Structure 1
Amino acid sequence: MANLVEATTQQQFEDFLARAGKCLTVVHFQAAWAPQCGHMNEVMEELAKEQPHTTFVKLEAESVPEVSEKYEIASVPTFLFFKAGEKVDRLDGAHAPELTKKVQRLAVSGSPGGAAENSTEDLNQRLKKLINAAPCMLFMKGAPQEPRCGFSRQIVALLKEHSIQFSSFDILSDEEVRQGLKTYSNWPTYPQLYVNGELVGGLDIVKELAESGELENTCPKAVTLEHRLKTVINQSPVMLFMKGNKEAARCGFSRQILEILNGTEVDYDTFDILQDEEVRQGLKTYSNWPTYPQLYVKGELIGGLDIVKELKESGELVSVLKGE
């Protein structure tokens, strides 16, 4: 298939981007050891048939480290979307429906007529969902544990100082959201803070609210970390705290424990500790267990990979998971 190719060097990668011109290029950063990457390659093959003007590139993330480092690829699968040689979007993880939506949206963006109008409507719906994803949403550069600009660093510090509970979105990871939100909210700069779906403003306004004593009344207060950890641990009868999720493990230990649990046919939920530094560090102290993954049943710590392996070998794992 002419529009489904593989890049094995940085030069090949750059050549594919140059040849595509203004047309969409989708790059799949993959690894041979990750089964979810194989599944996503099958999805790409189908998309390549549907989108003949889009170039789909497979790239072994560990074999071309200079490209992976440049674009901050921390896990596989990761997809980057390019137009005219510039990154316009990103998708982390094995999410076939989201990959399909992004490809379809980006492949038609800029086209004349109804396609472009539909794309704008889709983006506005997506922005609305993101803004309402949590009672207090911060759109910033980077993440709270690693802000990537001074203004973002200052607003995070203010919110934490006043014990404000908030979720965040890294606008550097999604160019479409970054540009679209400026128009949607008629606010040209970042960071942007939203409460209950309404724009509060940027750093200057948050500073004013803090100085006047109104910030706590404007934003929801944070719960204690211990209460939050207890809530997350008891979210499901069987909870696995890991690097990544069911669809995309981000370390070998997490991948192994997923394979064992999937073989038991017992339902379980996962929590990605890479997405929440507070939980990642807090749970080590709370449970007096320094490493991940960590498995909990009915709110009680069972242990990590070694203990789960021992339970499997002794034939006790299923009964433990069922709380028997």
Structure 2
Amino acid sequence: METGGHGCGLRLCCARRERAAGSAPASSPPSGNAPGAGRAAGGAPLRSRGLAGFGSQPLKFVGQRVESVCRLNLLPETEIPVPWTGSLLVVHFWAPWAPQCAQMNEVMAELAKEHPQVSFVKLEAEGVPEVSEKYEISSVPTFLFFKNSQKIDRLDGAHAPELTKKVQRHASSGSFPPSANEHLKEDLNLRLKKLTHAAPCMLFMKGTPQEPRCGFSKQMVEILHKHNIQFSSFDIFSDEEVRQGLKTYSNWPTYPQLYVSGELIGGLDIIKELEASEELDKICPKAPKLEERLKVLTNKASVMLFMKGNKQEAKCGFSKQILEILNSTGVEYETFDILEDEEVRQGLKAYSNWPTYPQLYVKGELVGGLDIVKELKENGELLPILRGEN
């Protein structure tokens, strides 16, 4: 069974509008149990509005409490204590009516046990609308990562494996004193330069071409596909440092952003203007015809496996089995994840007249799927074929 990825959380914008109008959102519990119901007029301190720790021990914070402007830049005059310098703080923006949040709370509880040096807190998104708006919290769950009182990363949606990876990465990375800021900025600029030059045409967007996560990004992808423009993309939600840094690097405050040969072309409005003036086709590189592309891909390596996932992580049982068989032969091979490219996924079925995946190719010729590979192995024919001896 194929899936379209993890859930991306529940939207909050409608709930905010309804709350502003004096009514509870439809997706919330009844008014008596709604988030913040029964709160005293004027509001309670932020701590009592949903800030809580995880793990068997209460959160231990070292340092001064915030007095005027919170060092975490959450809200003025809050009661959020600032963790000790260099430690990682993970803030979970959640809602009690969202089942995804309850699941991720369990994940955070386990992470808290594994990483006692990391502080985990949860913050009810609808209880602090100023914070949610400041950090563009449009859905729950959303996670923000802070270090040295600065936001360093972000994760949108209920992605337990990705949350675990980010916590492990940031918890193990060293902290840097303020004096290192210039050096860090230089490193970031070098990274941004590499990213903008990563392909002849690079699109920095919210989400992926397969799953855009905002209307502007979706429109941009549709225009590029309409004009058969070949491009690579970068999901700015996957890296908060890139998301913020690129705004300064190119002096362009919004997304999506399109680059050609490392130079910023512009956002959606500019691309629409270029399309209307028929200049877009002259500026952006055209994608090769699908048949030519498939021929190149199937000949990319002597042995090519088109599968769901990659060598490190198969995303279906059939792909996992064929990986195990190939690994047992000791023959070098490369893989292509069909879940990352819908055009290749559908086109290869017609190109080779083979309707399912995985598909194994040797020197550009289709060998077959899992069943055929199993038969060849049982007959002792697989290794000679992989070596090109047959």
Q: TM over 0.5, yes or no?
A: yes
- 1:126–1:251 Cα change, 3 Å: farther
User: Is 2:294 the counterpart of 1:229?
Assistant: yes
Over 3 Å counting, the alpha-carbon distance change for 1:19 and 1:185 in structure 2 is farther
Identity across matched positions, percent = 63
Q: CA deviation at 1:102?
A: 5.0
1:276 matched to which residue of 2? 341
Aligned to 1:113: 179
Aligned counterpart for 1:163 among listed residues 198, 216, 228: 228
Contact 2:154 2:237 in 1 (8 A): no
Alpha-carbon displacement from aligned partner over 1:49-104 (angstroms, at most 9, x marks no partner): xxx84479xxxxxxxxxxxxx769xxxxxxx88338x89256x9x9xxx9899538
- Partner residue of 1:305? 370
Cross-structure match for 1:247: 312
- Per the alignment, residue 295 of structure 1 pairs with 360
Q: Which residue of 2 aligns with 1:24?
A: 88
- Partner residue, 2:99: none
Matches within 5 A, 1:26-105: 53-54=117-118, 82-83=145-146, 88-89=153-154, 102-103=169-170
Q: Which residue of structure 1 lines up, in the alignment, with residue 198 of structure 2?
A: 133
State the partner residue of 2:216.
151
- 8 Å CA contact retained: 1:105, 1:119: no
Aligned mate of 1:15, from 54, 69, 78: 54
Residues 123 and 160 (structure 1), Cα distance of their counterparts in 2 relative to 1, 3 Å cut:
same
Give the distance between the partners of 1:316 and 1:237, measured in 2 at CA.
17
Post-superposition offset of 1:125: 2.1
CA–CA separation in structure 2 for the residues paired with 1:191 and 1:201 = 8
Conserved 8 A contact 2:152-2:241 = no
Change in CA separation of 1:240 and 1:122 when aligned onto 2, cut-off 3 Å: same
Q: How many residues end up aligned between the 2 structures?
A: 267
| AA at the equivalent of 1:15 | F
Contact 1:108–1:119 (CA<8 Å) still a contact in 2? Answer: no
Question: Contact between 1:164 and 1:221, CA under 8 Å: does it hold in 2?
Answer: yes
Distance 1:55 1:127 in 2: 30
Q: Distance in 2 between matches of 1:145 and 1:19?
A: 40
Find 2:245's aligned residue among 172, 180, 204: 180
Conserved 8 A contact 1:54-1:107? no
Residues 208-217 or 250-259, more deviating? 250-259
Structure with the larger RCO, 1 or 2 (CA within 8 Å, 6+ apart): 1
Instruction: Report if aligned partners of 2:88, 2:171 keep a CA contact under 8 Å in 1.
Output: no
Q: Using the alignment, how far apart are the partners of 1:251 and 1:272 within structure 2?
A: 11
TM-score, normalised by the number of residues in structure 2: 0.60
- Please, what is the CA RMSD of the aligned residues? 3.7
Against the structure 1 CA distance between its residues 316 and 266, is the aligned structure 2 distance closer, same or farther, given a 3 Å change threshold?
same
Letter in 1 for 2:256: P
Q: Secondary structure at the match of 2:216?
A: helix
Is 1:212 the counterpart of 2:277? The answer is yes
Cα contact 1:139–1:169 (8 A) shared by 2: yes
Residues of 1 paired with 2:254 and 2:245: CA distance? 12
Q: Deviations over 1:128-154 (max 9, x none)?
A: 221111100111112222222111121
Listed as ranges, the gaps of 5+ residues in structure 1 are 1-12, 27-43, 57-69, 73-79
How far 1:24 sits from its partner (Å)?
2.3
Q: Compared with structure 1, are the counterparts of its residues 19 and 195 closer, same or farther at alpha carbon in structure 2 (3 Å cutoff)?
A: farther
Larger Rg over CA atoms: 2
Question: Structure 1, residues 191-240: CA drift from partner, whole Å, max 9, x if none?
Answer: 10000000000011111111111111111112111111111111001001
- The offset of 1:118, in angstroms, is 3.3
Deviations 1:26-63 (A, max 9, x none): 8xxxxxxxxxxxxxxxxx9xx97xxx84479xxxxxxx
Q: Secondary structure at the match of 1:139?
A: strand
Q: CA deviation at 1:179?
A: 1.2
Contact 1:274 / 1:280 at 8 angstroms: preserved in 2? yes
Question: What secondary structure sits across from 1:125 in the alignment?
Answer: helix
- Taking the aligned partners of 1:71 and 1:229, their CA distance within structure 2 comes to 39
Cα distance in 1, alignment partners of residues 287 and 117 from structure 2: 48
The code of the aligned residue for 1:269 comes to E
**Distance in 1 between residues matched to 2:297 and 2:348, nearest whole Å:** 10
Report the TM-score, using the length of structure 1 for normalisation: 0.71
